[in-house]
Chains A and B, each alone.
Chain A
Amino acid sequence: AQSVAQPEDQVKVAEGNPLTVKCTYSVSGNPYLFWYVQYPNRGLQFLLKYITGDNLVKGSYGFEAEFNKSQTSFHLKKPSALVSDSALYFCAVRDQAGTALIFGKGTTLSVSS
Chain B
Amino acid sequence: DAGVIQSPRHEVTEMGQEVTLRCKPISGHNSLFWYRQTMMRGLELLIYFNNNVPIDDSGMPEDRFSAKMPNASFSTLKIQPSEPRDSAVYFCASSWTSGTGELFFGEGSRLTVL
Which residues of chain A have C-beta atoms less than 8 A from B106's C-beta?
43
Mark out the residues of chain A between 46 and 96 whose CB falls within 8 Å of any chain B CB in the assembled complex: 46, 49, 51, 90, 94
Say whether A49 contacts B108, CB under 8 Å.
no
Give the Cβ gap from A59 to chain B, nearest Cβ, in Å.
10
Interface membership of B102, Cβ < 8 A: yes
With A43-B91, A97-B100, A98-B97 as known contacts, state yes or no: A103 contacts B43, CB within 8 Å. yes
Contacts of A46 in B (CB 8 A): 102-104
Q: Which residues of A contact B4 (CB under 8 A)?
A: 43
Question: Contact between B102 and A106 (Cβ–Cβ < 8 Å)?
Answer: no
Q: Complex Cα distance A94/B98, Å? A: 13
Q: Which of A32, A36, A100, A104 contacts B33 (CB 8 A)?
A: A100
* Nearest-Cβ distance from residue B34 to partner chain A, whole angstroms: 10
Which residues on B sit within 8 Å (CB–CB) of A51? Answer: 100
A94 to B48 Cα, complex, angstroms: 13
A residues with a Cβ closer than 8 A to B are 32, 34, 36, 41-46, 49, 51, 90, 94, 97-106
A-B contact pairs, 7 of them (CB 8 A): A42-B107, A43-B108, A44-B93, A94-B100, A100-B48, A103-B35, A106-B43
